[in-house]
Amino acid sequence: MASPILLNIGGRTYATTVDTLTHREPDSMLAAMFSGRHTVPKDPDTGMVFIDRDGKHFRHVLNWLRDGVLPLLHDSQYQELLREAEYYQLIGLVDYINENMKKPDDEEPELTRRDIIKCIQSERLRFRGVNLSQLNLSKLDLSFVDFTFACLKNTVFSHANLQKAKFGDVEAVGSNFEDANLRECEFLGANLSGSTLDRASLQSANLQDASLVDCSFCKADLRSAHLQSANLAGANLTGANLEGANLKGAKLAGTNLQGANLQRAYLREVDLRETVLEGAKLGGANLLGAIR
């Protein structure tokens, strides 16, 4: 019986075999690593091989390598997995995801603004998994609404009241949340890449594991926001208020925090080498182990 290979993927542990890692995708990075042609560093105590990637979706990578299939995933999960497949150079998996991923931009929204207003009036406030792409929902009272898994690409929420709304795992690329009330909203694992949230109120919002790449948060209120492991690469937070925000594990490469309030923010062990911090207030911030 083949000896197991122990992997530590971003803090999550997996056990597999050399055959699994090399057989189905022989031209991949994983196959090259474990082909025997290279010396792979192992932890001297645990014998594990560490790979600095998000371990959440690696189980799908392993199942693909074992069986050549994936479970039915939401579109945002396919996109996250696609990034991992591209990193590991799993060409077969990349092709499989692209063939099976829905193309919501080519579909008509399932509801209109008028339908949404009727739902609000009748208190039917759940839009889980619904395609609401490109709708104009500005200035509506959508507080406490459940949008989990919804497709919200290029949807306009400017000036809307969305307090305590749920946006977990939504696909909301390019959406507009300018001046919206997003206090205590849940954006866990959401994809908001390229969205505009200027002057939005996000106090105590949960944005853990969210993709916020190239988002604009100019003068947004993010006091006490939860941004653990969020990807803020290239985001613009000029003048934003992040007092007391938790940014543990956040990716801040190319992030503009010029003039931002980071007092009492948690920035422990965060890599700030490519972060613009000119004029930022850092009084009382936890910068222990931060790379600057």
Question: Length of the chain, please?
Answer: 292
The half-sphere exposure of 72 on its side-chain side, counting CA atoms within 13 A, is 1
Residue 127 has a pLDDT of: 87
Residue 109 has a pLDDT of: 72
Distance CA 116, CA 137 (A): 8
Q: Find out whether 189 and 168 touch, Cβ atoms under 8 Å.
A: yes
Q: Find out whether 211 and 233 touch, Cβ atoms under 8 Å.
A: no
Compute, in degrees rounded to 10, the torsion defined by CA atoms 81, 87, 89, 93: 0
Q: What is the pLDDT of residues 137-167, one digit of tens each?
A: 999 989 999 999 999 999 999 999 999 999 9
- The C-alpha R_g of the chain, in whole angstroms, comes to 21
Compute, in degrees rounded to 10, the torsion defined by CA atoms 176, 182, 184, 188: -10
Residues of the chain whose pLDDT is less than 70?
1-2, 102-108, 120-125
- Nearest alpha-carbon partner for 232 in 208, 266, 203: 208
Task: Name the phi and psi angles at 159, rounded to 5.
Answer: 65, 10
Residue 2 has a pLDDT of: 67
Distance CA 255, CA 277 (A): 9
Distance CA 126, CA 67 (A): 36
